[in-house]
Amino acid sequence: MSKSNHRESFVSGIFANNPLFVSLLGICPALAVTKSIEAAIGMGLLFTFVLVCSNVLVSALRKFIPELISTPCYIIIIATFVTLVKMMAEAFLPELYSTLGVFVSLLVVNCVILGRAEAFASKNGVLDSLLDGIGNGIGFTLAIVLIAAVREILGAGTITIGQTFTFLVGEGDPTRLPILKGPGYDVSLFALTTPAGGFLVLGIVLAIIAAIKNAKARKKAVDERLAKEKAKAEAMAAKAAQAAKEAKQ
């Protein structure tokens, strides 16, 4: 495979084929763990780790896995890495583990991870699958961090640092950066931190993305029409010039 293809498999998952915003996969964790930015970052890290590992292993074993039972094989590979991640998170980041709760186990049935194994890793080489895993991992992490940022800043009114990643503040209490809520003022929208707020924020973000896409498509159509009209006008002008020339002769 050429270099540009490597780049393509890496970049495509971040924007053009973002797993959450474009393919609409993995909505469950995107709603459940986006109450705080830290939890979203932690989820994104665990997710990326599992995705990269499973992509590499599935791709390395793609010639040995019989097609008939491919999906169960992928699920077992993914479940193995999820078990690994679960134990590591429980040992090194217990706060993160308890914040994410069942959703670490639910990585096993995450549509994005299984989807990448089926659609990409089972058909491509190890290096490409690795890059695809990293790209999609970054894309998903960015997407859930964006949603978490909206929900935490507008909903809670503050950005909390050190609640999930306790090592950032050592022994001290978590730091809260006041934005919409501070001493003497509070303009935060509490509803956004509730489950309903999760659906609302994701729906609005998707609508904004759709609006941008629609606007781009419209602009492209208008541009094409203008270019066509311009070409037509030029052709007419050329014809007229030709006719004038002939008349002169």
Partner 1 sequence: MNYLVAFLLAIVSYSLVNNVIVARFYGICSFVGVGGKVKSAASMGVAVSFVILLATLICYPIYHFLLVPAGVPFLDTLTYILVIACLVQVVGLFIKKKSPSLYKSLGIYLPLITTNCAVLGVVSENTMSNLDFLTSLANAVGTSLGYLFAITVYACIRVRLESANTPKAFKGVPIALIVAAIMAIAFMGLQGIGQ
Within 8 A by CB and 6+ apart from 50, the residues are: 78, 81, 82, 85, 107, 110, 113
Residue 223, class by beta-carbon neighbours within 10 Å (0-12 exposed, 13-18 middle, 19+ buried)? exposed
Q: Does 208 bind partner 1 (CB under 8 A)?
A: yes
**Which of the ranges 58-66, 82-90, 145-153, 179-187 carries the binding residues for partner 1, by CB under 8 A?**
82-90
Report the residue from 194, 216, 235, 238 that binds partner 1 according to the rule CB under 8 A. 194
Q: Are 131 and 55 in contact (CB under 8 A)?
A: no
> Binding residue for partner 1 (CB under 8 A) from 50, 82, 143, 156?
82
What length does the chain have?
A: 249
Contact segment (CB under 8 A) with partner 1 among 49-57, 79-87, 125-133, 139-147 equals 79-87
Does residue 64 sit in helix, strand or coil?
coil
What is the size of the binding site for partner 1 (CB under 8 A)?
42
Q: Does residue 52 sit in helix, strand or coil?
A: helix
**Residue 88 vs 187, nearer CB to partner 1:** 88
**Spatial distance between the Cα atoms of 71 and 76, rounded to a whole number of angstroms:** 9
Six-digit token string for 165: 């990643």
Write each residue from 153 to 192 as x if it is in contact with partner 1 (CB under 8 A), else as -, in one continuous string: --------------------------------------x-
For residue 50, state whether it binds partner 1 (rule: CB under 8 A).
Answer: no
| Separation CA 10–CA 196 (nearest Å) | 34
Q: How far is the CB of 187 from partner 1 (least distance, A)?
A: 21
Task: Report if residue 111 touches partner 1, rule: CB under 8 A.
Answer: yes
* Of positions 169, 175, 190, 203, contacts partner 1 by CB under 8 A: 203
Residue 88 near partner 1 by CB under 8 A: no
Three-state DSSP string of 11-43 = HCCCCCCCCCCCCCCCHHHHHHCCCCHHHHHHH
Interface residues with partner 1 (CB under 8 A) are 24-28, 31-32, 71-72, 75-76, 79-80, 82-83, 86-87, 101-102, 105-106, 108-109, 111, 114, 191, 194-200, 202-204, 206-208, 210-211, 214
